[in-house]
Copies of this chain bind each other. A is one copy, B any other.
Amino acid sequence: MLLLEKALVHFREELDELQARLLEMAGLVESAIHQSVAALVQRDEESAKEVLWKEALINQKDIEIDEFATRLLALYQPMARDMRFLTAVIKINGDLERMGDLAVNITERALSLMRDTPVKPLIDIPKMAGLAETMVRSSLDALVKRDEALARSVLMSDDEVDRLRDAVYKELVAFMQEESTTIPRAVDLMFIAHNLERVADHATNIAEDVLFLIKGIDVRHHAEVREQATLTRP
């Protein structure tokens, strides 16, 4: 094998490894979201501890993936398509990391809610959580399969999440107005719904990045500049 071919194969392997790490991070994030809502619904402290532990892992992976992607950009200086993938990974990684933070926010509210009797049976919040988790999974699947339709389906689900959140808010305001002792707990639930809506927003961001990656941008008109620019490299 020529040196050139070897380097190219190695670069492909590195890109695969990067994607694998991003998927691993996404798996952790998904499970953190799931367990944060389990902590809320089942009033389960063990699930809460799991979320805090996973968020620490997520933060580590965030730094590792960021450094990995930046290193690949620096070392291989890839052309348009691979570079778009690398910049997409950096953005997606950032969105996933923030979802980890949101899972912790939910968990903190869940822990506070455990100390008191439930305000109401929880129906719409677990529904929101299920939708948000599916959106996270689908946005990453869309990345792996470069699947435009799947990415677009994530954008559609976001509206349903917003609709559920509005229903949750409305119901909680009614509870607070009827019985003022529920106010602190109802506020906690409102912020949990808000955090789930933000998880869905981040999944939407990822889906948008995937669409941008698939659609691409045109650098052909500047091909003559590239010819010059290559000369500037040391």
Contact = CB atoms under 8 A, between A and B. Distances in A.
Interface of A: 3-4, 6-8, 10-11, 67, 70-71, 73-77, 79-80, 83-84, 87, 90-91, 94, 169, 173, 176-177, 180, 183-184, 187, 190-191, 194, 217, 219, 222, 225-226, 228-234
Main secondary structure of the interface of A (DSSP, over half): helix
Contact of A183 (B176, B184, B191): B176
Interface centre among A84, A230, A234 (most CB of B within 10 A): A230
Given A70-B87, A74-B83, A229-B77, A184 B173 contact: yes
A67 B217 contact: yes
B74 A219 contact: yes
A80 B169 CA distance: 48
Contacts of A183: 173, 176-177, 183
Given A11-B229, A176-B183, A73 B83 contact: yes
Nearest to A94: B91
Nearest to A170: B184
30 contacts: A4-B231, A4-B232, A7-B225, A7-B228, A7-B229, A7-B231, A8-B232, A10-B225, A11-B229, A11-B232, A70-B87, A71-B217, A73-B73, A73-B87, A74-B79, A74-B83, A74-B219, A75-B225, A75-B229, A77-B77, A79-B234, A87-B87, A90-B91, A91-B94, A94-B94, A173-B187, A177-B183, A180-B180, A187-B187, A187-B190
A219 B71 contact: yes
A67 to B, nearest CB: 6
Contacts of A3: 228, 231
A234 B81 CA distance: 13
A77 B222 CA distance: 13
A141 B218 CA distance: 32
A13 to B, nearest CB: 12
A84 B71 contact: no
Contacts of A80: 74
